[in-house]
Structure 1
Amino acid sequence: MKHGSYNIFKFWFSLGVAVCVFISITGFKSTLQANDNTYQSLKLFTDVLEELEKNYVDDVDTDELIHNAIKGMVGNLDPHSSFMPPEAFDELQDDTKGEFSGIGIVITMKEAILTVVSPIEGTPAYKAGIQAGDIIIRIDDKSTKDMALWEAVNMMRGPRHKEVLITVIREGEPNSIEYSLKRDLIPMESVRSAMLEPGYGYLRITNFRMSTLDDIKEHLGKLESKNNGLKGLIMDLRDNPGGLLDQAVKISDLFLDQGNIVSIKGRQERNTQVFKAHSDNEDRKYPIVVLINGGSASASEIVAGALQDHSRALILGTTSFGKGSVQTVHPLKEGFGIKYTIARYYTPNGASIQAKGIVPDIEVEYEILEKKEKKVSIFDRMIREKDLKNSLKPEKAKQPGKIKKQPQKQNRKHQRLLDSDQLQHDAQVKRALDILISYGVFSKLNGS
């Protein structure tokens, strides 16, 4: 998740002769304003570099040694900080805009192990059955041990239809699992919707990209215009790995009138900020159930946390991923750059979900409900009023005036429709729908 790009003090190694890398420790002392331990460590670094240059069994590439040192320095801070060579920047831009070819998974480093956060819906990885929590141990014939995150991303992206072999280990499975996947264009569409029952809508958000807010407004407009408005909404954030912070804030603001949405707090004052909700003219007072699971991370957790803390939505599913930090990308010389963590974020109630996740109000495991064949019992065969001789016939219901249906224009941008019948066999969706319908019934009983 990006939040601007901030200028911080940086120093760059001269990549000429090893002994000239730091020029003089005294010069750095006045510039860096650090303590004596820092200078001793820098001196130790130059001593090691010079020693290796002179006496290592083979010739060494000084540039590579220095780059590896920086890589280790940044990479050991946390799983989301990394030193990137120039080629990694182009890949980074694809995460929020543009189009790229790959297998469609979001990955992270969890305790230095390459781990799947979630597969992206509709992609080769999703269709093949790769799951959140899978540990990737090989990409093609290369082990992922000590592999940088950007290197793994580069290896999994590539020409469309060209195959890549992914080997994973999964909890509960005794042997590793191999997936031979054909790369394909990763869909940029991040929002889909369906009407599950008259008045009860379903909104699926797969990630938070630059256009997600506009897409949600379009889908909500369609749902809200049917059946005299919405009686309830299911917002599905399952396996949504997050994305842009500003989109998460603006989407939360669609359903909140006041109060904090999220606050970020960093060591520097410029990295500390509170994002607040604003009232608007849209009346969205209908109840909401938000679905989350272990693949819901980052921006997804911001939305779920904000709606939960403001009692604006009921959260259903399983505990989310637990990424409660904000990163920025800072360019360096010669095309290099660093991505590093600048702040932690906090829900409106001041809670940090880092390594904890959003805990659902109602825990429901994922399950596909099978269609059950209706069995005729002895009670179904019992005589009813309608079977009695000369029983009164039911009154015919008055037929309302027929309304001529207008042909609907197809929006090609969102022509992938969700199967509402199939969704209702999803145990979590079905439970959410039952809750919304029950809420409507009790609201009528209470006269509200």
Structure 2
Amino acid sequence: MLRPRTAAVASLLLIPMVAGGFFLQQAPPRATPRLFDQVLAIVASRYVDSLQSPEVFEKAAKGLVRELNDPYSELFAPRQSEEFNRSTGGRYGGVGMLLEEQKVGAGTSIIVSRIFPHTPAEDGGVHEGDRIMRVDSLPTADAKIDKVSDALRGIPGTSVQVVFQRPRVVEPVKLTFKRAVVHVPAVPYATIIGDRIGYIPLQTFNENTAEEVDAAATKLVGQGARGLVLDLRDNGGGIVEQALAVSSLFLKSGQPIVNVRSRNAPDEVARATSEHLATQPPLVILTDGGTASASEIVAGALQDHDRALVLGTTSFGKGLVQSLFPLDGGYALKITTGKWYTPSGRSIHRERKLLADGRFVETRPDSLETEAEKKARPTYSSDAGRTVYGGGGITPDVIVPDDTLLTTEQEFLRAIAPKAQAFVTVLNQYAFELKGSAPRDFSITPAWRTELRRRLGTAGITIDQKYEPAATRILDRELDRRLSRLVLGDAGARQRSVAEDHQLARAVALLAGARTQEALFAAGRTGASLNAAVKPDHN
């Protein structure tokens, strides 16, 4: 009697099973080029606001690149493409001034903060601290710095008239410049520090970098330098070919510099060429969290081949290869096509994820970096058998943390943060005014401190007594830093500030006692052991 009901239930159960089996055998729905055409047509014809066809195409293309979730891939519009080429090429048509936007009362002013050598601005007598009032017919009051910069740039050989307001000069200064191809230096200066130690700050990798590093190193060795410091801190990279050329200066012909591994192509190995420095003194490379990309290629190659002691903190870890593809209409696509590996096989890249707000963070962030924590990283071997560490970025042979502010100094800076721009403006203007009277061996005087505080008060910046003496230390340091560069130049200012730069001071100390690279490594091992014995203070 129960069999018919049981059979019916079984039949009912069988239907969805068969149906389920049927649907599982169907190919899942897939997006096709027709999907894009359909969405594009509906947006173009039915979206509530009308959009021009070029705008729709650009938005669609940018959306595709954005959905790769790769912070390094980007679609450049024509103007962005020009800016990118200019920033990496190192040359542009202009007058040779670095501009800075400063808060003045309720508005803003555009101030000349630096003048590049051998440019129309230098030849025309522009002063650092001059305020730009007009560029041709463009008044600059409350103008954005990008707009002023664009007005100054143009085709080399064309003319541009600029009106300046100069401190302590009543009448405006009117100058006419003929725009020229401006060379932005990769090495702004090179100098001797301490006991015959050559210092080379390398800011970027543009088309002139290897030539400038070669010239700087040759000059310093000629001046008696018996050791070199190549400062790659805050160098975010640039042209990879220049990183290879800089590495070649310090390596032997044929030594591998970097290995590129891509998805649909065989591995590529870039090797050192025959262009080397005539003299090869002991070398320290400084790195920090701002050392990235092309800079990491240089640091990693010279570390793996035992040609440089790396000192500082672990680099950023941008080990992705970007290729630039020119597109129709002046557009360009910068897209990730591979990864870099050092000669010992270490991946330079440190994995990060892109957040919804546009920031990207490490998937496994480092804690406070110490020698003990460094040893938990994957290990590799240099040519001479020294241990070098992987795990993303270039880990230094000797870890020296960045200089950090005391707690009271941090609290003071947070307190004045709402007035930060006015704070910087007052410091800059006062430094410019002191430039003409300050001796080369100046010290911050009580009278200067009093006047600086008066000016800060006039700008609405009050200093609570509870922040003393931290506030005085910061004011002295910031005024000294600005005035040093104005009075002594970049090289002189660096020589004056070595003691305050703990990483550079350690590099100079290690080089002072080492006549060979091997002796430098031995001194570095001793220094690393001392670092490991000191427990970090987290307070």
Work out whether the TM-score is over 0.5. yes
What residue number does 2:55 align with?
64
Once residues 329 and 104 of structure 1 are traced to their aligned partners in structure 2, the CA distance between those partners, rounded to angstroms, is: 30
Which residue of the other structure, out of 63, 75, 89, is the alignment partner of 2:81?
89
Q: Pairwise CA RMSD of aligned residues?
A: 4.0
What residue number does 2:396 align with?
360
What residue number does 2:259 align with?
263
Letter in 2 for 1:331: P
Is the alpha carbon distance of 1:92 and 1:309 closer, same or farther for their aligned partners in structure 2, counting shifts above 3 Å?
same
Is the alpha carbon distance of 1:56 and 1:211 closer, same or farther for their aligned partners in structure 2, counting shifts above 3 Å?
closer
Confirm or deny that 1:346 pairs with 2:346: no
The structure that has the greater radius of gyration is 2
What residue number does 1:248 align with?
243
Deviations 1:409-445, CA, capped at 9 Å, x for gaps: xxxxxx853442323431111101111123249959x
Task: Give, in angstroms, the shift of residue 104 of structure 1.
Answer: 8.4
Q: Which runs of 5+ in 2 are unaligned?
A: 1-26, 102-112, 116-127, 129-141, 153-161, 164-180, 351-391, 406-488, 523-539
Is the alpha carbon distance of 1:267 and 1:205 closer, same or farther for their aligned partners in structure 2, counting shifts above 3 Å?
same
Instruction: Point out the more displaced range, 48-57 or 67-76.
Output: 48-57
What is the identity percentage for the equivalent residue pairs of Structure 1 and Structure 2?
A: 34
Confirm or deny that 1:42 pairs with 2:33: yes
Once residues 186 and 103 of structure 1 are traced to their aligned partners in structure 2, the CA distance between those partners, rounded to angstroms, is: 14
What residue number does 2:504 align with?
429
Confirm or deny that 1:288 pairs with 2:283: yes
Question: Would you say the 8 A contact 2:250–2:277 is kept in 1?
Answer: no
Is the alpha carbon distance of 1:428 and 1:156 closer, same or farther for their aligned partners in structure 2, counting shifts above 3 Å?
farther
Once residues 205 and 264 of structure 2 are traced to their aligned partners in structure 1, the CA distance between those partners, rounded to angstroms, is: 26
Letter in 2 for 1:207: T
Aligned ranges 1:163-182 → 2 under 5 Å: none
Question: Would you say the 8 A contact 1:102–1:157 is kept in 2?
Answer: no
What residue number does 2:191 align with?
194
Once residues 49 and 64 of structure 2 are traced to their aligned partners in structure 1, the CA distance between those partners, rounded to angstroms, is: 25
Deviations 1:185-214, CA, capped at 9 Å, x for gaps: 997111121111343211111111111111
Give TM-score, length-normalised by structure 1. Answer: 0.59
Is the alpha carbon distance of 1:338 and 1:254 closer, same or farther for their aligned partners in structure 2, counting shifts above 3 Å?
same
Is the alpha carbon distance of 1:186 and 1:80 closer, same or farther for their aligned partners in structure 2, counting shifts above 3 Å?
farther
What residue number does 1:322 align with?
317
Once residues 205 and 83 of structure 2 are traced to their aligned partners in structure 1, the CA distance between those partners, rounded to angstroms, is: 17
Task: Give, in angstroms, the shift of residue 283 of structure 1.
Answer: 4.4
Question: Would you say the 8 A contact 2:214–2:277 is kept in 1?
Answer: no
Once residues 280 and 158 of structure 1 are traced to their aligned partners in structure 2, the CA distance between those partners, rounded to angstroms, is: 38
Higher helix share: 2
Question: Would you say the 8 A contact 1:102–1:156 is kept in 2?
Answer: no
Task: Give, in angstroms, the shift of residue 241 of structure 1.
Answer: 1.1
Question: Would you say the 8 A contact 1:249–1:261 is kept in 2?
Answer: yes
Is the alpha carbon distance of 1:273 and 1:281 closer, same or farther for their aligned partners in structure 2, counting shifts above 3 Å?
closer
Is the alpha carbon distance of 1:275 and 1:336 closer, same or farther for their aligned partners in structure 2, counting shifts above 3 Å?
same
Once residues 75 and 335 of structure 1 are traced to their aligned partners in structure 2, the CA distance between those partners, rounded to angstroms, is: 19
Deviations 1:142-180, CA, capped at 9 Å, x for gaps: xxxxxxxxxx99789645699xxxxxxxxxxxxxxxxxx
Confirm or deny that 1:234 pairs with 2:198: no
Give TM-score, length-normalised by structure 2. Answer: 0.50
Aligned ranges 1:9-408 → 2 under 5 Å: 40-77=31-68, 78-95=70-87, 96-99=89-92, 158-159=150-151, 188-191=184-187, 192-227=189-224, 230-257=225-252, 258-269=254-265, 272-278=267-273, 282-355=277-350, 356-367=392-403
Once residues 104 and 320 of structure 1 are traced to their aligned partners in structure 2, the CA distance between those partners, rounded to angstroms, is: 28
Once residues 240 and 104 of structure 1 are traced to their aligned partners in structure 2, the CA distance between those partners, rounded to angstroms, is: 20
Deviations 1:102-147, CA, capped at 9 Å, x for gaps: 7689xxxxxxxxxxxxxxx969xxx9xxxxxxxxxxxxx9xxxxxx
Deviations 1:375-427, CA, capped at 9 Å, x for gaps: xxxxxxxxxxxxxxxxxxxxxxxxxxxxxxxxxxxxxxxx8534423234311
Task: Give, in angstroms, the shift of residue 364 of structure 1.
Answer: 1.1
Question: How many corresponding residue pairs?
Answer: 305
Instruction: Point out the more displaced range, 66-75 or 282-291.
Output: 282-291
Is the alpha carbon distance of 1:67 and 1:433 closer, same or farther for their aligned partners in structure 2, counting shifts above 3 Å?
same
Question: Would you say the 8 A contact 2:245–2:273 is kept in 1?
Answer: no
Question: Would you say the 8 A contact 1:368–1:425 is kept in 2?
Answer: no
Letter in 1 for 2:90: K
Letter in 2 for 1:86: P
Deviations 1:330-368, CA, capped at 9 Å, x for gaps: 122222221112221111111112123211111112339
Once residues 99 and 397 of structure 2 are traced to their aligned partners in structure 1, the CA distance between those partners, rounded to angstroms, is: 33
3-state SS, counterpart of residue 439 of structure 1 = coil
Confirm or deny that 1:439 pairs with 2:439: no
Confirm or deny that 1:417 pairs with 2:491: yes
Letter in 1 for 2:395: V
Letter in 1 for 2:216: H
Once residues 304 and 28 of structure 2 are traced to their aligned partners in structure 1, the CA distance between those partners, rounded to angstroms, is: 45
Question: Would you say the 8 A contact 1:208–1:244 is kept in 2?
Answer: yes
Is the alpha carbon distance of 1:235 and 1:281 closer, same or farther for their aligned partners in structure 2, counting shifts above 3 Å?
closer
3-state SS, counterpart of residue 89 of structure 1 = helix
What residue number does 1:379 align with?
none
What residue number does 2:353 align with?
none
Instruction: Point out the more displaced range, 73-82 or 279-288.
Output: 279-288
Letter in 1 for 2:78: P
Once residues 310 and 328 of structure 2 are traced to their aligned partners in structure 1, the CA distance between those partners, rounded to angstroms, is: 45
Is the alpha carbon distance of 1:241 and 1:53 closer, same or farther for their aligned partners in structure 2, counting shifts above 3 Å?
closer
Task: Give, in angstroms, the shift of residue 254 of structure 1.
Answer: 0.9
Letter in 2 for 1:98: R
